[in-house]
Amino acid sequence: MKDRRESIILKAIELYIVNGYNNVSITDLQAHLDIGRGTLYYYFKNKEELFMTVLDKFILTPKLEVLDLPDNVKLQDMINAMLKYIHSLETTLEHFENKNVNASNVVSLLFTAYQLFPSLYRKANRIYALEVSLWNKAIRNSISCKEVRADIPIETVVNLFMHIKDGYDVGRKGVTMDFSIYPEQYNFLYDLIKL
């Protein structure tokens, strides 16, 4: 039964990302998932619960899991954690039948989710604050260990690291998302501030 539920969630995220939450009805979900309405309602009480589960499973929880880092986190550990998170997104998208998914699909879906579901928005804000805090600690710890220059503007560098993952590059591979750019960008920024 767990496999069936997971299969529903995986197929549903594709439909939501490609078409947008507001353009997906229960009937659309049934047709895409090739299941009856009763089966869908067996696993999820309504479209809203399925949507919240999808966003939590594929966007929020994976990020929270990789951010489970110690207080003495270093910059390279933080970069590795973010690359692990980005890889989890890439792995999800690889399962999609529709390969023409880009950053605007994902960002649009997140804006909709945060507008319609305040609990998702609050959780995303907590995760964002945790990520900012960890980048800050990682930079400060790396400065203390003399791995990173001490003369850098820490808050600016935190913002730069934070926004690397927001800059999905869709141009390298047409309309599909190109994840190969992330290690390059994280490492380039890290190299700029290393001793």
Q: What is the pTM of this model?
A: 0.86
DSSP letter (8 states) at residue 23: G
20-63 pLDDT, tens digit each: 899 999 898 888 888 999 999 999 999 999 999 999 998 899 99
CB 106 within 8 A of CB 18: no
Helix, strand and coil percent figures for the chain, each rounded to 5 = 70, 0, 25
Cα 183 from Cα 179, distance rounded (Å): 8
183: which 2 tokens? 């290690």
129-169 pLDDT, tens digit each: 999 999 999 999 999 999 999 999 999 999 999 988 765 54
